[in-house]
Amino acid sequence: MSGLSEHPVTEAARLLRQRMEMGAGDVFLEDLTRDEVMALARKARTAATSAGPPVAASPPRGAGSAGAPSPRPDPGPDRVPAAPRPETRSAPARPPLPVDYRALRDEAMGCTRCALAQTRKQVVFSDGVEDARLVVVGEAPGANEDDTGFPFVGAAGQFLDLLLASVDLSRKDSAYICNVLKCRPPGNRNPQPEEIEACSPFLLRQLEIIAPQALLAVGTFSAQLLTGESKTSLGNLRGRVHSYQGIPLVVTYHPAALLRNARWTRSFWDDLQLLRQVMDSA
């Protein structure tokens, strides 16, 4: 891959797009090709980091209202199954979350709504721009995210940047990235239902305030939460356009799962094309 110097992620994304449009399936994630492209993504992330840490943008304009579906997700392919949990009593009703972005973020940063507050290093609220055309919703922070305070900064995040660039999107100017949970589950286990119940109101309020043109849910837990179909597998949810509070919603595999399962690359690519169609028609 010679000649990739100024914008390596953009160039690698163009190569990915060309290969997929020519009918390639999982070849992109095999052998040295995958390693070379991931190295380019890491190079671009290092260059971006050297320019200084991300700075929270000014709060976006406007806020709507949204209801919270009640998810009960079953474990997906991306995370370690959760350990058995003791019986817990229902928590008392909490006051509504702020509708001002900065106030919402401040409240999340000091959140103690569930036991993850005792094990996290820091709250992982978001990355990207708050006037985003697209919001990408993942599942929960991992170790790298817990260290840095930003979502999708490990290998899966680098791959996500590459995939978004292949459809001309970037967290620097057009995408906002967050998770269902704002704190890392110990050992990267699956989110537990009570954790999702406690934390998802922050996500839903984020979506209200940002009001994007489209949503992309990556992974089982975010897909089931936003579609409200807690009994449906991710494989049966993907491949069609859903609606969350009137916002078009596309669901697909988590980038971390793609790094382990190359056979899903073509399906993910098809979902990205569906997303691009949705956004082009918005």
Residue 129 banded pLDDT, cuts 50, 70, 90: very high
Q: Is the pLDDT of residue 53 over 50?
A: no
3-state secondary structure 74-135: CCCCCCECCCCCCCCCCCCCCCCCCCCHHHHHHHHHCCCCCHHHHCCCCCCCCEECCCCCEE
Task: Record the tokens describing residue 253, joined without a space.
Answer: 């595999």
Packing angle between helix 8-21 and helix 31-50, nearest 10 degrees? 150
Selected residue with higher pLDDT from 258 and 84: 258
Q: Is the pLDDT of residue 39 over 70?
A: no
Show Cβ contacts of residue 52 under 8 Å, excluding neighbours closer than 6 positions.
none
The mean of the pLDDT values for the chain is 80
20 pLDDT band, cuts 50/70/90, is: low
Q: Give yes or no for a contact between 178 and 206, defined as CB atoms under 8 angstroms apart.
A: yes
pLDDT digits (tens, 9 = 90+) for 205-263: 999 999 999 999 999 999 999 999 999 999 999 999 999 999 999 999 999 998 888 88
pLDDT at residue 103, as a whole number: 98
Q: How many CA atoms lie within 13 A of 153 on its CB side?
A: 21
- Structural domains for the chain: 8-59+98-280 (3.40.470.10)
**Confidence check: pLDDT of 130 > 60:** yes
Question: By the 8 A CB rule, do 179 and 226 touch?
Answer: no
The phi, psi pair for 171, rounded to 5°, reads -70, -15
pLDDT at site 6? 43
* Contact assessment for residue 181 and residue 199, using Cβ atoms and an 8 Å cutoff: yes
Choice between 148 and 263, residue whose per-residue pLDDT is larger: 148
Q: For residue 114, what pLDDT is reported? A: 97
DSSP, res 38: H
The predicted pLDDT at position 193 comes to 97
> pTM for the whole thing?
0.73
Residue 176 CB neighbour total at 10 angstroms = 24
- Whole-number percent of the chain with pLDDT over 90: 60
> Which is higher by pLDDT, 166 or 74?
166
Higher pLDDT, 27 or 85: 85
Instruction: Supply the DSSP symbol for 189.
Output: B
Q: What local confidence, expressed as pLDDT, does residue 175 receive?
A: 98
Q: Stretch 137-150: mean pLDDT, rounded?
A: 97
CA angle 275, 264, 178 (to 5 degrees): 50
Min mean pLDDT across 59-68, 93-102, 161-170, 234-243 is at 59-68
